[in-house]
Amino acid sequence: MEKVLTDKVKEAIFSLYNYKVDEKQIQLQKTSKDFTGDITLVVFPFLRFSKKKPEETGEEIGNYLQENIKEISGFNTIKGFLNLEMDKKYWIESFRKMIEDPDFGIKKTGSENKTILVEFSSPNTNKPLHLGHIRNNLIGYSLSKIFEANGYVVKKVNIVNDRGIHICKSMLAWQKWGEGTTPEIAKKKGDKLVGDFYVRFEKEYKKQVQFLVENGADEDKAIMTAPLLKEAQAMLLKWEVGDKEVVDLWNRMNGWVYKGFDKTYEALGVSFDKIYYESDTYIKGKEIVLSALKNGVLFKKEDGSVWVDLSKEGLDEKILLRSDGTAVYMTQDLGTAYQRYDDYKFFRQIYVVGNEQNYHFQVLVLLLDKIGYKWAKDIYHLSYGMVELPEGKMKSREGTIVDADDLISEMIDTARDMSEELGKIDTYSEKQKEDIFRIIGLGALKYFILKVDPRKNMTFNPKESIDFNGNTGPFIQYTYARIKSVLRKAAEKNIKFQKKTDSCFEPNEKEIELIKILAGFPGVIRDAGIQMTTAMVANYCYELTKGFNQFYHDFSILNVDNDETRNFRLQLSEITGGIIEKSMGLLGIDVPERM
């Protein structure tokens, strides 16, 4: 219908005002709930052609469309907005198309013949994953699913920050205070053990700085000259020149961390198509920097450090190689971006990285462009907001982070307590119960985070997230389980329903409203991909769930005498369940058959 409307609006403008308009000027959107209508046309762009007031222009275009599109049953104009009403036959036909198309709303992967890279997670190997990483991973994974649903080939990629001074801090602390411990000896996940040593380094380092200050040193100088920091810097230099002892320890401790990360990713239900490592990509980054220096794009300061001057672009100077020749984050990001384009020739590369890195990615794009890479314009930084708990911010250096594994376990435990209290799964086996607790707990966690627009800061409240009422994952999951229960009961009663709709059948208003919500699914998926937001899918799913529950509350599905009505309502329930399952799947959330 959107294509039909667009063509007819172009036709109307030419017929009424003798002007040819571009499709980009035609803005169609869902009518606001505050007004009567289904589809709204924004009239303002056409006022320069009509030379009339918005209301008059809207009336003239509305009359033309109603006369030329049989599915339009009426319209109204509110200021510069023309609200079009579609007749019942249009919605019945829309429902018929849903029944006939098992992939309704989802494009075939690869149909766009373009590749999108989505980078997410990007952990450091000096600490375990935490709540911030959970939001990052959930956003990245869900967006990947949404892009796939829009027909793109999607590659989920990860860059592991496995080198640098922060890594050496954990290594040095293990050497000094580890006494040869391993994850097996400590009975800890490897990422947690290494994180403990990073925290230990910071505590001992602060003690040294405090000691120097108390003995008359300037605080800034003490921060830069504390013995522990100097040792860590020396270790980094040894690593970069390939010192065997340092490299062996680096490999060993990173190996512990990777095993820990894999367990967390598996529990969270995310995966990657390719993992890049900073320890590899920084080498290519240095090559790019040195080549750009030779070509006069960059410059060297007296101490030997290499910089880029972005003052003409409204920024400042940015270091790319330190005076001792060691690389910085920007160096490895240059190498990583180059390697990814070489690997995939991407149409777009999206970095899912927190908003504290806005400046970094602004510099990265400008720098790549300055060096001469034409694909720099295809890089996009999805700058997501921070996530906190009600108690406040997290600080990894002080060991006050909200551990990802602990939070996942807490969510599953909370789901267990609430489900057992409701007493609806008493007859299930222990394995069935545990599967349901996991599905509900993770569903609550994922949905609560993904229903908020990624660009906004948010506070995650575990108790609110797992409520079985309201805009929560468990509420949607429970509705899906309710639909499956209705369909099972129909099968048990040997009620078979035909997957077709009689064109003479007239749904009631509540049923039409539900069909309208269902019909909006393709547009939601399209717009969620364009705007790069998971919130649009999550909140659509909630709206659909509410619509079904209102229908379910007011009308019987199985206990009706009219076979045609029962057949229609069973189809409506099945289609609704399918769209809920698809929508939640795009968020990386499972839906249980029973709850």
Let me know if residue 269 belongs to a domain: yes
Pairing between β-strand 39-42 and β-strand 299-300 as defined by DSSP bridges: unpaired
Same domain, 456 and 320: no
Which of 64, 86, 108 marks a domain boundary?
86
Residues 42 and 160 in one domain: no
Would you state the pLDDT for residue 214? 94
Task: Tell me the average pLDDT of the chain.
Answer: 92
Q: What are phi and psi of 137, to 5 degrees?
A: -65, -40
Residue 349 placed within a domain? yes
**Whether residue 178 is found in the same domain as residue 323:** yes
pLDDT at 501: 60
- 390 and 423 share one domain: no
Are residues 305 and 217 part of one domain?
yes
Q: What stretches of 309-374 show up as alpha helix (H) in DSSP?
A: 329-344, 358-371
DSSP states of 113-156: --EEEEE----BTTS--BHHHHHHHHHHHHHHHHHHHTT-EEEE
Residue 366 in domain? yes
CA distance 279 to 284: 10
| Residue 212 and residue 70 share a domain | no
Residues 347 and 420 placed together within one structural domain of the fold: no
The pLDDT value given to residue 370: 96
Residue 288 sits at the vertex; the CA angle it makes with 284 and 293, to the nearest 5 degrees, is 145
User: Whole domain around residue 375: which residue ranges?
Assistant: 120-398
By CB atoms closer than 10 A (0-12, 13-18, 19+), residue 581 is: middle
> Do 342 and 368 sit in the same domain of this protein?
yes
CB atoms within 10 A of CB 467: 16
Examine the domain organization and report whether 444 and 392 are in the same domain.
no
**Token representation of residue 297:** 């794009």
Q: What is the pLDDT of residues 3-43, one digit of tens each?
A: 899 999 999 999 999 999 888 899 998 898 889 999 999 99
CATH number for the domain harbouring residue 260: 3.40.50.620
Domain end (from 344, 364, 398): 398
Whether residues 458 and 523 fall in one domain = yes
All residue ranges of the chain with pLDDT < 70 are: 391-401, 423-424, 499-504
Same domain, 152 and 55: no
Helix H segments across 297-345?
329-344
Asked whether residue 114 is assigned to any structural domain, the reply reads no
For residue 396, the model assigns a pLDDT of 44
CATH number of the domain where residue 500 is located: 1.10.730.10
Q: What is the pLDDT of residues 394-411, one digit of tens each?
A: 444 444 568 899 999 999
Residue 399 has a pLDDT of 46
- Residue 474 contacts residue 482 (beta carbons within 8 Å): no
pLDDT at 425: 74
In a domain, 320, yes or no: yes
Residue 394: predicted pLDDT: 45
Number of structural domains found in the chain: 3
Say which CATH number the domain at 36 has. 3.30.1360.70
Q: Which of 325, 338, 327, 326 is nearest to 364 (CA)?
A: 338
The per-residue pLDDT for 168 is 96
